[in-house]
Amino acid sequence: MSRVFITGSADGLGQMAARLLVEAGHQVVLHARSAARADDAWRAVPQAQAALVGDLSSIAATRALAGQVNRLGRFDAVIHNAAVGYQEPRRIATVDGLPHVFAVNTLAPYVLTALIDKPQRLVYLSSGLHRSGDASLDDLAWERRPWQGTAAYSDSKLHDALLAFAMARRWPQVLSNALEPGWVATKMGGAGAPDDLQAAPKTQVWLAVSDEPEATVSGAYFYHMKPHDTLPAVRDVAVQEQLIQACEGFSGIRLPD
């Protein structure tokens, strides 16, 4: 049995992954951005061990969430599932003055990775849209660029893949991978999304707990449990390090060795 923490598991793919894990006998801790959402999550997956609360748009709240996770003891796997979509029509600033999309999709996974006691496995949800992301990493806070919601989302999903590959290189004792679940009919994806919704949560579950040789790798990118191509910049160590340094600057939190 594995212990798995899943961010953003009040609904959507996070909740679906949680259900698959508890049905297979694993111990799962859920997460939501508010107490009301956490209650909803626990009602949906009552076999879960706990449902933690933390607003990932806030650096302080994300730091506090990491503390909650650590007080529960070490986890075998952390699935960085939480994300906001590309529908934001303008740059919405967080309490820290950062774009909402960047704060939740990029900076929060970095902060949690840095502060949660090292698990055996890290799983980051990216997207096929990462291939449209800006690998220059210029103006991450969208202070100079005219706002484009889809571009901001694509950038953030590129960042998630970069984080996964950076951690695979920096922490060789941890299995760290990224995946794209496909464009599926979740609240974020929309009712007309064409990919297989039932297949969408399986890869993150597989990477989190499977002992199959294909799943016990590190520094790989998957689509439906198969290795998949990435934007070449994802494997560029200089780009990975540029993102790590930027996240450290925004958060004030250093990634441990």
Residues of the chain by 3-state class (helix, strand, coil), percent to 5: 40, 15, 45
Whole-number Å distance between alpha carbons of 237 and 235:
6
- Any idea what DSSP says for residue 25? T
| Residue 226 falls in the annotated catalytic set | no
* Token pair 């698990």 in the structure block, residue: 119
- CA-based nearest residue to 142, from 90, 191, 75, 219: 90
Q: Give me the helices (H) in 52-148, please.
A: 59-71, 100-102, 108-115
Catalytic residue among 110, 157, 202, 226: 157
In the residue annotation, 153 being an active-site residue is answered as: yes
Contact status, residue 141 vs residue 130, Cβ threshold 8 Å? no
The rounded distance, in Å, linking the Cα atoms of 36 and 55 is 12
Of 109, 100, 128, 101, the residue nearest 6 (C-alpha): 109
Give me the catalytic one of 110, 153, 223, 226.
153
Is 1 within 8 Å of 27 (Cβ atoms)?
A: yes
Q: Could you give the residue numbers annotated as active site?
A: 153, 157
